[in-house]
């Protein structure tokens, strides 16, 4: 079964959804919901679930897993865990694949905790106190709506070493202004107040992916706390949502769609920042399409980069090289060869 192409969503209640759980033994009032969506993660899902089960808290939690009719053994593994840990795990599924966005929305709706913590089925937590530390902070600081942490990036398909994602960050409290300018919060590390994202705007349901917009919308309601603790592992692998779409430029195209939506929502505030973001992403798409031999689309995205932010584009000398390489490739190669000869001392 192939994952279906997603169509616009008009009503979350119309998304096919069936819960597998044991209400008799579940906590009636979990303080935190660990929210996990998964599709074809058979190699990773057990580690993701174990990262939640190992959490040491002095309050009740639940794990809600949105399993989207995987074609591998993911569903079997998830159901085995639910049967064994039926006092914590609830599974949201259906008889047919609904796609990543719908799966995420129906899983969100099922969450009951005062706070929600995300962990996708191919990532995992490594700090047993992650939920305890974040919930304690949010309970004590009602003006904060998100608490996030540092994480490790792990590469599954090559020999690149694991690395901590964030180095020294000069401050640990952030506002909406900060998060619009630069992404600071990694989805797999965040915990947020469920009440801040109960009714997202209608346009949110049409986005190709939701985490960036979700964080930005939540930040309208308060501040973010960053804890430097390394609590989680972000796994980079060929089947990941970002990785599988990254090489061709598709993920950056999606990013432009998300940024356009945010620009319309906040207009005119932050328009300059959003325009620069779309310009930068367009240049990335152009470079990737050029590598794939698609100079037509590469030219289109270089032109879009200039259209989104002319002054920002012209202020960067690399833009001229990129534009020349896609619009006049022969001249670009000639000039590049001449430059190389001069630099190497060849007359």
Asked if residue 301 and residue 214 are part of one domain, the reply reads no
pTM equals: 0.90
Residue 67's CATH number: 3.90.550.10
pLDDT the model gives residue 305: 97
Asked if residue 208 and residue 96 are part of one domain, the reply reads yes
Asked if residue 255 and residue 108 are part of one domain, the reply reads no
- Reported confidence tier of residue 338, pLDDT bands at 50, 70, 90: confident
Asked if residue 308 and residue 274 are part of one domain, the reply reads yes
Q: How far apart are CA 8 and CA 1, in angstroms?
A: 21
| 171: helix, strand or coil | coil
- Reported confidence tier of residue 1, pLDDT bands at 50, 70, 90: very low
Asked if residue 154 and residue 81 are part of one domain, the reply reads yes
Q: How far apart are CA 281 and CA 264, in angstroms?
A: 18
Asked if residue 30 and residue 63 are part of one domain, the reply reads yes
- Residue 306 pLDDT greater than 90, yes or no: yes
pLDDT digits (tens, 9 = 90+) for 183-225: 889 999 999 999 999 989 999 989 999 899 999 999 999 999 9
- For residue 6, being part of any structural domain is answered with no
Residue ending a domain, among 178, 211, 243, is 243
> Which whole number is the average pLDDT over 262-291?
97
**Structural domain harbouring 216:** 12-243
Asked if residue 280 and residue 224 are part of one domain, the reply reads no
Q: How far apart are CA 215 and CA 148, in angstroms?
A: 11
Residue with more model confidence, 204 or 10? 204
Q: How far apart are CA 333 and CA 297, in angstroms?
A: 19
Please, what is the average pLDDT of the chain?
Answer: 92
Residue ending a domain, among 191, 209, 243, is 243
Lowest average pLDDT, out of 24-38, 96-110, 158-172, 255-269, goes to 158-172
Asked if residue 202 and residue 138 are part of one domain, the reply reads yes
Q: What one-character-per-residue DSSP string does 199-242 give?
A: S--GGGGGSS--HHHHHHHHGGGSEEEEEEEEEEEEEE-TTSTT
């Amino acid at each position: 079964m192939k994952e279906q192409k997603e169509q616009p969503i008009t009503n979350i209640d119309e998304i096919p959804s069936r819960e597998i759980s044991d209400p008799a033994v579940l906590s009636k009032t979990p303080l935190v919901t660990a929210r996990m969506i998964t599709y074809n993660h058979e190699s990773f899902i057990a580690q993701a679930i174990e990262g939640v089960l190992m959490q040491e808290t002095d309050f009740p939690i639940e794990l809600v897993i949105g399993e989207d009719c995987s074609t591998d053994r993911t569903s079997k593994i998830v159901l085995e865990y639910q049967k064994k840990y039926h006092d914590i795990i609830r599974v949201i599924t259906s008889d047919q694949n609904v796609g990543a966005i719908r799966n995420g929305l129906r899983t969100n709706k099922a969450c009951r905790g005062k706070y929600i913590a995300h962990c996708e089925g191919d990532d995992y937590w490594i700090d047993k106190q992650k939920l305890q530390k974040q919930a304690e902070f949010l309970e004590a600081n009602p003006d904060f709506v998100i608490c996030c942490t540092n994480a490790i990036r792990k590469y599954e398909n090559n020999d690149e070493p694991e690395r901590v994602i964030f180095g020294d960050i000069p401050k640990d409290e952030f506002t909406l202004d900060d998060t619009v300018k630069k992404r600071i919060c990694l989805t797999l590390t965040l915990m947020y107040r469920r009440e801040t994202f109960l009714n997202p705007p209608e346009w949110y349901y049409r986005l190709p992916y939701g985490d960036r917009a979700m964080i930005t919308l939540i930040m309208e309601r308060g501040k973010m706390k960053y804890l430097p603790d390394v609590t989680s592992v972000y796994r980079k692998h060929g089947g990941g949502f970002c990785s599988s779409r990254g090489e061709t430029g598709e993920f950056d195209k999606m990013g432009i769609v998300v940024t356009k939506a945010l620009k319309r929502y906040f207009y005119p505030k932050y328009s300059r920042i959003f325009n620069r973001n779309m310009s930068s992403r367009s240049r990335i798409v152009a470079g990737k399409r050029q590598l794939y031999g698609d100079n037509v689309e590469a030219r289109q995205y270089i032109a879009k980069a200039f259209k989104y932010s002319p002054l920002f584009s012209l202020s960067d000398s690399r833009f001229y090289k990129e534009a020349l390489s896609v619009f006049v490739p022969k001249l670009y190669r000639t000039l590049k060869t001449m430059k190389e000869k001069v630099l190497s001392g060849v007359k």
